[in-house]
Amino acid sequence: MKYILAIDQGTSSSRCILYDQETQPVAVAQQEFKQWYPHPGWVEHHAEEIWQTQASVIKQALQQQGLKPSDIAGIGITNQRETTVIWERKTGKPIYNAIVWQDRRTADECTRLKDAGFEPTVQAKTGLLLDAYFSATKIKWLLDNVEGARTKAERGELAFGTIDSWLVWNLSQGELHITDVSNASRTLLYNIEQLRWDEELLALFDIPPALLPTVKTSTEVYGLTQHPEIGLGIPIAAIAGDQQAALFGQLCHQPGMAKCTYGTGSFLMMNTGRKKVVSKHRLLTTIAWQIGDDVTYALEGSVFMGGAVMQWLRDGLMVFKQASDSEALASSVSDNGGVYFVPALTGLGAPHWDPHARGAIFGITRGTTRAHLARAALESIAFQVDELLQTMALDCGEPITQLRIDGGAANNNLMVQFQADISNINVARPDNLETTALGAAYLAGLAVGFWKIDELNKSLRVNQTFKPNLPSEQVDLLKNYWQKAVARAKNWAE
């Protein structure tokens, strides 16, 4: 029997899942790694620690089933997007820590470019907005602030990659410097219509082309593993950014189908097919995936602080010991007690795009308890996603009628029901919430003939559908206070 190995490299942990022919997970291994915050608004990872933890969980998953490299039909990779690594081609050593997608150090540079009138051009070419979220200004910062980096880059001695590129480089022992269209489309440097790195954008951000990886489709055999610890000769067969992989894993293969992943952030994405929908309300147009010559586009809204706000309550304020305790604590009170938590700990994403917003808690009284705080934090995740749903409906001209969900926080029944209530939408939760890894596995399986697309489309199993049951007057009141709170948190650090 053969298996598909899915690498799921996330913002806070590295994971490996093995899938059998029936698309069932047979082995799972996961390991967290350290988050670094050297200055307010800065977020970094050690790229070598990312590789070490990922290599470790791959070995653990194989050992769980007693498998050899020859038992693996293919590897699919999905990854935290936009996070930026630059390394030396000769040694494979990073020149600096990885700058994480949440990092806001280049917010002023983005503001400068906006003020100079470049955002319409950037959006037309990339589908993105000028924001520190994306890779281009992170690359520029590294070239400008690491001694000798720009000179080395211009001589072709350095390589840039998002995390997928970094993993493939290590898996192939430096033979492959590649990415796929979904990850390339998140850099602010890739023309999503012409499907190439854009010379005008490279000049705008002052980035030498020699740094860049070769862009591939999302499902093809790129090469074979060469790493002695992982095993030799396993086909590396798929790459997709985490949100695009989740969209594929949720089987949202037809235009109009939408999913939301409740992970570190919360990400709403809708398949728009071959049509590149340009948002009039500051959502993002992105490439979902490319299979052969067919490119599928998507409309996306990004919330920076989703499940991460519960991690902050756990680790920063020690409100509870485990994130899984949050539901019981929040359910111990009947409502939020008038408390609203705007979790703009790294600014606000769509549709506000305010890097200068900061976290704020409103409505605190002498009667406020940690249970009210936990409930307000859970509700904040749903409030932010609701803003995205309403905005996406405006762009599409019709409401989204069903939302498929995944990610760790989707286990929280209180939060999911609140999402259905305030958004007036049916929310479908599948049996398998690890649809990001599943999407990477599906794409790899297609590349090596392990599955056919028709087989996959029959494999979705819905665990529970949450239906709205909150009176509209109460919903309106809740949203009104949420909007007041957001307005007061914006532009705080400007």
Tell which wins on pLDDT, 467 or 431.
Answer: 467
Q: What is the pLDDT of residue 459?
A: 74
What is d(CA 80, CA 100) in angstroms, rounded to the nearest whole number? 9
Would the pLDDT of 492 be above 80?
Answer: yes
Q: What is the pLDDT of residue 400?
A: 84
Residue 188 domain flag: yes
The pTM (predicted TM-score) of the whole model is 0.88
Task: Over range 114-134, report the average pLDDT.
Answer: 94
Residue 333 domain flag: no
Residue 439 domain flag: no
What is d(CA 219, CA 79) in angstroms, rounded to the nearest whole number? 15
Task: Look up the domain containing 11 and give its range.
Answer: 3-243
Q: What is the pLDDT of residue 349?
A: 86
Q: What is the pLDDT of residue 103?
A: 93
Would the pLDDT of 138 be above 90?
Answer: yes
What is d(CA 302, CA 246) in angstroms, rounded to the nearest whole number? 14
% residues pLDDT > 90 (the chain): 78
Q: Where are the alpha helices (DSSP H) in 14-148?
A: 47-65, 107-115, 119-126, 136-145
Residues in a beta bridge with 296: 289
Q: What is the pLDDT of residue 127?
A: 94
Tell which wins on pLDDT, 463 or 7.
Answer: 7
Residue 461 phi, psi (nearest 5): -120, 115
Amino acid making up residue 116: A
Residue 218 domain flag: yes
Q: What is the tens place of the pLDDT at every residue in 41-60?
A: 899 999 999 999 999 999 99
Residues 6+ apart with CB under 8 A from 194: none
Handedness of CA 441, 446, 449, 450 (dihedral sign): positive
Q: What is the pLDDT of residue 408?
A: 83
Q: What is the pLDDT of residue 70?
A: 92
Task: Over range 131-135, report the average pLDDT.
Answer: 93
Task: Over range 3-20, report the average pLDDT.
Answer: 95
Would the pLDDT of 443 be above 90?
Answer: yes
Residue 278 domain flag: no
Residue 97 domain flag: yes
The least confident of 112-126, 134-148, 201-215, 311-325 is: 311-325
Total structural domains within the chain: 1
Q: What is the pLDDT of residue 445?
A: 96
Q: What is the pLDDT of residue 179?
A: 98
Residue the block writes with tokens 């999402």:
419
Q: What is the tens place of the pLDDT at every residue in 321-369?
A: 887 888 999 999 999 999 999 999 988 988 898 988 999 999 999 999 9
Q: What is the tens place of the pLDDT at every residue in 403-417?
A: 999 888 888 999 999
Task: Over range 64-85, report the average pLDDT.
Answer: 95
Would the pLDDT of 231 be above 80?
Answer: yes
CA 180 to chain centroid, in Å, comes to 15
Residue 467 domain flag: no
Residue 208 domain flag: yes
Q: What is the pLDDT of residue 96?
A: 97
Q: What is the pLDDT of residue 304?
A: 85
Q: What is the pLDDT of residue 190?
A: 98
Q: What is the mean pLDDT of the chain?
A: 93
What is d(CA 238, CA 356) in angstroms, rounded to the nearest whole number? 37
Residues 389, 400 contacting (CB under 8 angstroms): yes
> Which CATH number goes with the domain that contains 178?
3.30.420.40
Would the pLDDT of 83 be above 80?
Answer: yes
